[in-house]
Amino acid sequence: MTLRILIDADACPVADITLQAAAAYQTEVILLCDTAHEMHREGAHTIVVEKGADSVDFRLVNLVIPGDLVVTQDYGLAAMCLAKGARVLHQDGMEYTAQNIDGLLHSRYMGQKIRRSGGRTKGPPPRTPQQNDRFRAALTTLLETCS
């Protein structure tokens, strides 16, 4: 089985880091984005879908197969990919697992509930070089163990 990396590329800050690592391990990369976030990179196959709620997510889930590696910050998409047998990595370097996905989905649900009731939740802080380093290290580890 050949390892593939599928990237939920809508607003993904680690696409270039992923492409560099994938090239070093001779791994296929597929970028998935919608027409509002179109992204093309050398060394990757790009799939562009129509703009729409979760359109990229549904296309990615339809493409993913057991053993693939998915890069996303979307907890719902991560859960669906885990269910299909993929390894899933957050852009901060955290690997989603069967052990942590339920808690992450619950946190997302609680944040949505607070926002719907008129409350505010804190957004993410600006991205740091340390986050890129953690992602690069986690991705390299996964590529070494999966290749």
CATH code, 4-120+127-146: 3.40.50
Mean pLDDT, residues 17-45 taken together: 93
| Between 53 and 128, residue with greater pLDDT | 128
SS3 content of the chain, % helix, strand, coil (to 5): 45, 15, 40
Residue whose structure tokens are 């957004």 = 123
CA distance 128 to 134: 10
Q: Give Rg (Cα) of the chain.
A: 15
What value does the mean pLDDT of the chain take?
89
What's the pLDDT at 1? Answer: 57
- Structure token pair of residue 10: 């809508």
Q: pTM, whole model, 2 decimals?
A: 0.87
